[in-house]
């Protein structure tokens, strides 16, 4: 009978956690996370801030989308090594926010709602892309990259 050691003791896992820790501790990653949380909270409260809370379907949509965006991007700071793929979910939520005034049934596309959702959605989309780019940069294998560069010379 063979016994397998825990994955927690695998050397690659420890190295990967160190890389993720290094990425999330940079000022850029912390700024992206802070801006994302502010963007998500604003999106959730925007129907009442911008004054279109009477458009109930869009107000509920923005509330749910804003809270989901906060949860996606807020989880990245606390458990980055397990949740960095959720940055792509944040990108989708940003894109949805942009098109929501035209897609949701009813007359939701007033100037106020369109301007609010396009600007907030563009911010959310860019912040999600920034976090996804940081995740992609941190998952690259530096040893493999240096070998690839050396083979090209």
pLDDT at residue 119 greater than cutoff 60: yes
Helix (H) or strand (E) holding 24: helix 11-24
For the chain, report the end-to-end CA distance as a whole number of angstroms.
49
Q: What is the pTM of this model?
A: 0.74
Residue 151: CB atoms within 10 A of its CB come to 7
pLDDT of residue 9: 65
Distance from chain centroid for Cα 36: 7
d(CA 66, CA 60): 10
SS3 of 6, please?
Answer: coil
- For residue range 26-57, what is the model confidence (pLDDT) as tens digits? 788 888 889 999 999 999 999 999 998 898 89
Chain-wide mean pLDDT for the chain? Answer: 80
Between 46 and 135, the higher pLDDT residue: 46
């Amino acid at each position: 009978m063979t016994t397998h050691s825990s994955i927690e003791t695998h050397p690659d896992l420890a190295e990967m956690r160190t890389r993720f820790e290094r990425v999330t501790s940079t000022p850029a990653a912390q700024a992206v996370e802070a801006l994302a949380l502010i963007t998500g909270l604003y999106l959730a409260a925007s129907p009442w801030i911008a004054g279109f809370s009477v458009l109930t379907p869009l107000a509920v949509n923005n509330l749910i989308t804003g809270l989901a965006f906060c949860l996606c991007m807020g989880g990245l700071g606390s458990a980055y090594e397990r949740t960095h793929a959720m940055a792509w979910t944040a990108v989708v939520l940003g894109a949805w926010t942009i098109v929501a005034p035209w897609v949701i049934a009813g007359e939701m596309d007033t100037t106020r709602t369109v301007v609010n959702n396009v600007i907030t959605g563009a911010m959310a989309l860019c912040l999600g892309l920034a976090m996804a780019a940081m995740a992609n940069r941190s998952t690259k294998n530096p040893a493999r990259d240096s070998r690839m560069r050396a083979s090209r010379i």
